Amino acid sequence: MATSKTPAQIVQLLTKLPAYGVPYQVPSGTMAMFQDPNYTGSRSDVRIAEYMPNKRHVVPDSQYDRTSNILWNLPIGTVITLIGCWAPGEEGKKIVDLSYGNTCLDLVGTGTTKGCELWTSGITDDVSFFMWRNVDLT
């Protein structure tokens, strides 16, 4: 009989995104977006508590198509999807439908601060929108 894994164990099995490391911590429920490499330059914080879940949102103006690096700290089971180059969809499509997005990248909550370099994921200077949601990891 297979032993079931906890959500915390499941997120540890996910592929890690390339990063310079984590230069400092960000608060839980936060995504910190940086314009320049090495977590420098203009910074904008997105606090998910200020945004509706399961809805597409525009990134802060200073980061629109300019973000190079991201730090995030999300609770286990929370995911932020970054979306590049959004095109208008068909009437009646769900607002979280990704079929009209270009590159998409999921930031998965592990309960600790993580970081990623967007250019190695093919989405540098391309992030226009994001959405967040809670997922069932059981």
pLDDT at 18: 65
Residues contacting residue 126 through CB under 8 Å, at least 6 positions apart: 65, 84, 85, 102, 103, 118
- C-alpha distance from residue 14 to each of 34, 72, 114 (Å): 24, 16, 13
Average pLDDT rounded to a whole number, residues 89-102: 62
Q: Give the model's pLDDT for residue 26.
A: 97
In DSSP terms, 32 is beta-bridged to 45, 71
* Arch. (CATH architecture) of 7-16+26-134: Sandwich (2.60)
Domain parsing of the chain, residue ranges = 7-16+26-134
List pLDDT tens digits, range 1-12: 567 888 778 777
For residue 7, what pLDDT is reported?
A: 78
